[in-house]
Amino acid sequence: MSQHVPVLIVIIPLVAALFVPLIALRTMAWARALTFLALLGVVACSGAALTRALATGPLHYELGGWAPPWGIVYVLDPLSGGMALLIGIVAALVAVYTQPYLKSWSTSRAGIFLSLFLLLVTGLLGIVVTGDLFNLYVFLEISSLAGYALLASGSIHSAVATFRYLIVGTIAATFYLLGVGYLYALTGSLNMADVAIRLSDIGHSGAFAVAITFIVVGLSIKAALFPLHGWLPDAYTYAPAPVIGFISAVMAKVGAYALFRVLYFVLRPTEAASQVLTGLSWVAAIAILAGSLLAIAQRDVRRMLAYSSISQMGYIFLGLALGTPSALKGALLHVLNHAIMKGCLFLAAGGVQWRTGGYRLEDFIGMSRRMPLTMAAIVLAAISMIGLPPTAGFFSKWYLVQGAIEAHAWVFAAVFIASSLLNAVYFFRLIEWAYLRQPKPQPSLSSPPLYQELPMQMLLPIWVLATSVLLLGLFNQSVVNGIIQYAIQPEGS
Amino acid sequence: MPVVLAHRPMLAVLVSLLAAVAILFSDRRPNLRETWSFLAAAITSALVFSLLPEVLQHGSLEATYIELLPGLALHLRADLFGMIFALLASVLWLVTTLYSIGYMRHGHYDHQTGYFACFAVCVSAAVGIAFSANLLTFFIFYEILTIATYPLVTHDRHDEALGGGRRYLAYTLGSGQMLFIAVISISLIAPGASFQPGGFLAGHASSGLLTLLFIFAILGISVKAAIMPLHGWLPTAMVAPTPVSALLHAVAVVKAGVFGCIRIVHYVFGIDVLHAIGADTALALLASATILVASIRALGEQNLKRRLAYSTISQLSYIVLGAAIGTPAALAGAMFHIVAHGFMKITLFFCAGAIYVKTHKVEIPDLGGLGRQMPITFGAFTIGALGLAGTPLCVGFISKWNLGLGALQGGHPLFLIVLVVSGLLNFAYFFPIVYRAFFGNAEHTFAFDEAPVTVSLPLVLTAVVSVLLGVYPNFGASTYDLAWQAAERVLASAASAGAAGGF
């Protein structure tokens, strides 16, 4: 049984996704329980796999018993194990958070929603655990298709916004596929480890440069790297809150993960790659600043957070592009930190919308009194987004700036610093509206209640994430020394 | 010297932090809430005082906790200099709590729970700053202090308060990032280093790099230390309730700035390193300019709290000047002035608050004759004002004497002149207030009508301590000895390091 752990990570949510809508037709409660159990299973399996990978080295699972490089292999090293665990935990928390939403929907809608959610999780987990370039494309499409459907499940606006995402996302996937095609033409293999070895033998050509460019562009679109971000704010704006919470927390990160995996484990930093990386670093730096500036321009908190994500994805990409050990540590730590804090922010902001019906800054007036615990979580996560100690965001920023200094990239160090201050502008504006602005005296008789916290099922995930923001800050060394420092070393190098 | 382990510094930090949580959860029971504040202030003070004999004996007590970054742990150390600031912060918290209760309840202020909670976090951060043993720990508490004071500055919620808050954040967060650059660069140059008397950076980097780092570090602390031209936030932050101004000015924020300045000059860089790159003279000149310009600006302010704000800006630079001169007497004077200015300035702010509580007057021209109505308050005000001007028998004289002596010993008579001129200017901007209060509005008779006792008792206490410290500088907590011992240790280490580096 235990040797099947790598494949179980993907199988469990996939099977659950098939049965959940059927069970939902009979008993909704069972469908919800099955979803949650499946996600707990993912957490348990990925936790076990990560522990084993850290103790005894990476786990390899040959699908159907076909040996690589012909068959598909799943690889669970500290990097993929850690990512799978992160996806599992965030998904389980979001599943809890979704409960009040599910109650307000019809059973067929709720069942399909849960099924799509599990499919999305399956796709993301598949991207993470696979050791095969083409299989990665398959899972990329599974997650994207499930993601389109989920994002479109809000209102009529969300369908239009998602259609745009669908077109852009398909182009992105095609770019990636083209890049993989070039690599296949060059090496005759699709297995990541095998391609890496063959590439080091045959050296680099123009075709290689084309391949790497296609892959980088494709995955950058998926990860919403500025200026390829256009789809993201609209898609986020109209989708249901739990969906944005999950997608913003992990989906873009998985794009970054895939890029990291392909760049550093398959292509390995080489001369052709380094030119692409230099270009990528400048694009990422611009993304950081542009995302923050655009976030300042928003008066809708959800769009503000969406643009903030674009900026924060820039942090991760810049760290990956700089490529020094500190920068890579910072990038991966930021993948984790940003998933936690942005998830917390979106879920908490979704909670405000659940109570007030809106996401505008005006809707946040008086929230510090009405929903003090939710707002406190927002403040904690916001401080972490700005990068103030002792929260998690400070420490990933520390590694990233250290990486920039080590690479003598002073401009990029300055970009991180400047972005911190820009983040402070829009997050403290939100805090000011929520805590300090006085509500206008309402002429209507129905004044909102004084104290109205969220239901426990929504509050608990928010606070698990908020507490993690603090704990991940104080104990970041256990993550960095325990997992990340092994995760940034490609196998056998 | 063997490392003496002690967890009491950490406890002192945690007690006030936990108090903040307890305060938040006692929202609907004001008496219980204020009990938490008192209890925490008393425990914190007791913990800090209990460290005093051992610190005087061993020089320092320390403990390291979780590793936050490679080689850099959350590291707390109670050393001679840190004790000065910790003592000041914890004792004044106790006094200010009493004052705040009287002031806030009498003024029927809203949001008192948030107020007392933030106050507790501020003190926790101030004690943390005092006990930080390395730059990272210092920076963490320094930023916590920034965030925790923001709600206090904006306490009144009106547009002016929000504007003041924004300005405060812009200055402090901006400078925090400058400090961040310095902290991260220094940690790369000298990995895992903790504060050392005499500094640890000598020989670690080229002089050009050191100059750059020093500029960033000073930019980082000079906002809180209100060194001109980065003082702009302080007068605007005066929109806050008076106990907050007292806290900002006398206890936590600005003192964290000047404390950090001395730490950076003498415990990170070392005066010899700075002398080699000429930074000590530059800093001293900057501080002198601030002393004089701020004093002159104070003359022109008609709002009492704003005049006090400019006086603070000027007085803080005494401390920066003493650090930059870097002779034993000057440094000891600078360290002692942290305490001296703390007690004198908090007295003045308490008085301003008492006047406001009683009469709602904030403009200096309106104060005519009020000294006859509130003789206790204005008596305390006079003591504080005399002390700040450096009159003998007041605590301000002790620090100023040492600063002047240090300036002469270092061969800088110019700085002595600055101090003397500043003393005269102090008289010029405080004396009219005192005169007007007691002798102005002569045709009108005033009945004795003092502020409530919760407001007037604290200000009498701090005024009495200001005098006692002036007569007997070691009163209560041996702060004068602490300052001298710390200064001598710093400069002895610097001298021996310089000698060793010379070969």
Each residue of B424-433: b (16+ CB within 10 Å) or e?
Answer: ebbbebbeeb
Find out whether the peptide bond into B229 is cis, omega within 30 degrees of 0.
Answer: yes
A134 Cα to chain B: minimum distance (Å): 38
Work out the angle at residue B286's Cα, subtended by the Cα atoms of residues B280 and B290, and round it to the nearest 5 degrees.
140
HEC readout, B56-98: HHHCEEEEEEEEEECCEEEEEEEEHHHHHHHHHHHHHHHHHHH
Q: Is the dihedral of CA A435, A436, A440, A442 positive or negative?
A: positive
Closest by alpha carbon to B451, among B115, B110, B106, B112?
Answer: B106
Contact (Cβ atoms closer than 8 angstroms) between residue B239 and residue B160: yes
Least confident of B152-161, B278-287, B376-385: B152-161
Backbone torsion region of residue A317, taken as left when φ is above 0, otherwise alpha when ψ lies between -120 and 50, otherwise beta: alpha
Q: How much is the pLDDT for B249?
A: 65
| Residue B472 pLDDT level (bands cut at 50, 70, 90) | confident
Q: Which residues in B lie closer than 8 A to residue A421 (C-beta atoms)?
A: 173-174, 177
Contacts of B308 (CB under 8 A, 6+ apart): B245, B249, B345, B348, B349, B352
Nearest by CB to A405, from B136, B143, B188: name it. B188
The phi, psi pair for A489, rounded to 5°, reads -95, 115
The yes-or-no verdict on residue B62 having pLDDT over 60 is yes
Residues of B in contact with A325 (CB under 8 A): none
Report residues of chain A scoring pLDDT below 70. 1, 203-204, 269-273, 440-449, 490-493
The two counts, helices (H) then strands (E), for chain B are 20, 2
- What single DSSP character describes residue B16? H
pLDDT by residue (tens digit) across A292-315?
999 999 988 888 998 999 999 999
**Annotated domain spans of chain A:** 1-131, 132-438+450-487
Of B22, B153, B12, B30, nearest to B91 by C-alpha is: B12
- For chain B, what are the domain ranges? 278-492
Alpha carbon dihedral A11, A12, A13, A14, in 10-degree steps, equals 40
* Rg of chain A on CA atoms, in Å: 22
The encoded tokens of residue A285 equal 């730096």
Higher pLDDT, B124 or B364: B124
Do the Cβ atoms of B177 and A417 come within 8 Å?
Answer: yes
Place of tokens 């010297």: B1
pLDDT band at B231 (very low <50, low <70, confident <90, very high): confident
Residue B413 is encoded by which pair of tokens?
């008579």
Q: Which of B67, B134, B157, B184 to mutate to test the interface with A (most CBs of A within 10 A)?
A: B184
pLDDT of B372-383, one tens digit each? 888 888 889 888
Question: B501 falls in which pLDDT band (50, 70, 90)?
Answer: very low
Count of H-run helices and E-run strands, chain A:
21, 2
Place of tokens 């809890």: A96
pLDDT of residue A447: 61
Torsion-angle region of A433 (φ positive above 0: left; ψ -120 to 50: alpha; else: beta): alpha
The interface predicted TM-score (ipTM) is 0.90
B386-433 pLDDT, tens digit per residue, is: 888 888 888 888 888 888 888 888 888 888 888 889 888 988 888 888
Structure letter (DSSP) for residue B450: P
**Minimal CA–CA distance to B271: which of B194, B339, B214, B206?**
B214
Give yes or no for a contact between B217 and B182, defined as CB atoms under 8 angstroms apart: yes
Burial (CB count within 10 angstroms: exposed 0-12, middle 13-18, buried 19+), residue A220 = buried
Q: Assess contact for A35 and A20: CB atoms under 8 A.
A: yes
Mean pLDDT, to the nearest integer, of B208-212?
88
- For residues A392 and A470, what is the distance between their CA atoms, to the nearest angstrom? 6
The answer to whether the Cβ–Cβ distance between A435 and B151 falls below 8 Å is: yes
Whether the CB-CB separation of A327 and A265 falls below 8 Å is answered with: no
Averaged pLDDT of chain B: 85
- pLDDT at position B500 over 50: no
Which SS3 state, helix, strand or coil, does residue A43 take? helix
- pLDDT given for residue A346 in this prediction: 92
* DSSP per-residue string spanning B84-151: HHHHHHHHHHHHHHHHHHHHHHHTT-S-HHHHHHHHHHHHHHHHHHHHB-SHHHHHHHHHHHHHHHHH
How many Cβ atoms are within 10 Å of B381's Cβ, its own excluded? Answer: 27
pLDDT at B126 over 70: yes
C-alpha–C-alpha distance, residues B455 and B346, integer Å: 12
Chain A closest-CA separation from residue B186 CA (Å): 11
CB contact under 8 A, B69 and A395: yes
Q: What is the pLDDT of residue A181?
A: 93
Using a CB-CB distance cutoff of 8 angstroms, which residues of chain B are in contact with residue A408? none
Contact of A446 with chain B, judged by CB distance below 8 Å, is answered with no
**Site of tokens 């005499």:** B198
Instruction: Kindly report the nearest CA distance between residue B239 and chain A, in angstroms.
Output: 14
C-alpha distances (whole Å) from B343 to each of B362, B394, B409 are 21, 11, 27
Q: Which of B437, B357, B351, B362 is nearest to B388 (CA)?
A: B351
A134 touching B (Cβ < 8 Å): no
Rounded to an integer, what distance in angstroms lies between the CA atom of residue B447 and that of residue A332? 71
A73-76/B72-79 β-pairing? unpaired
Which pLDDT score, from 0 to 100, does residue A34 have?
A: 92
Phi, psi values for residue B73, rounded to 5° = -100, 165
Instruction: From chain A, pick out residues whose CB is under 8 angstroms from the CB of B67.
Output: 477
Contact B115, B74 (CB under 8 A): no
Between CA B122 and CA B132, with CA B127 as vertex, the angle to 5 degrees is 120
Cβ of B180 within 8 Å of Cβ of A386? The answer is no
**Cβ A390–B177 below 8 Å, yes or no?**
no
As a whole number, mean pLDDT of residues B266-286 equals: 87
Distance CA A197, CA A68 (A): 13
Chains A & B: contacts with CB separation below 8 Å: 64
pLDDT band at B274 (very low <50, low <70, confident <90, very high): confident
- Residues pairing with B64 in the sheet: B75
Q: What angle do CA A346, A340, A50 make, to 5 degrees?
A: 145
Contact B184 A477 (CB under 8 A): no
Looking at per-residue confidence, does B455 or A47 come out higher? Answer: A47
Mean pLDDT of B297-304: 86
- B163 to chain A: closest CA residue: A432
In 3D, which of A345, A151, A355 has the Cα closest to residue A238? A151
The DSSP code sequence of B311-355 is: HHHHHHHHHHHHHHH--HHHHHHHHHHHHHHHHHHHHHHHHHHHH
Alpha helices in A57-155 (DSSP H): 78-104, 107-129, 133-151
From residue B247, alpha-carbon distances to B15, B75, B347, B399, B470 in Å are 19, 26, 11, 21, 22
Model confidence, pTM: 0.92
* Angle of the A133-151 helix axis to the A231-238 helix axis, nearest 10: 50
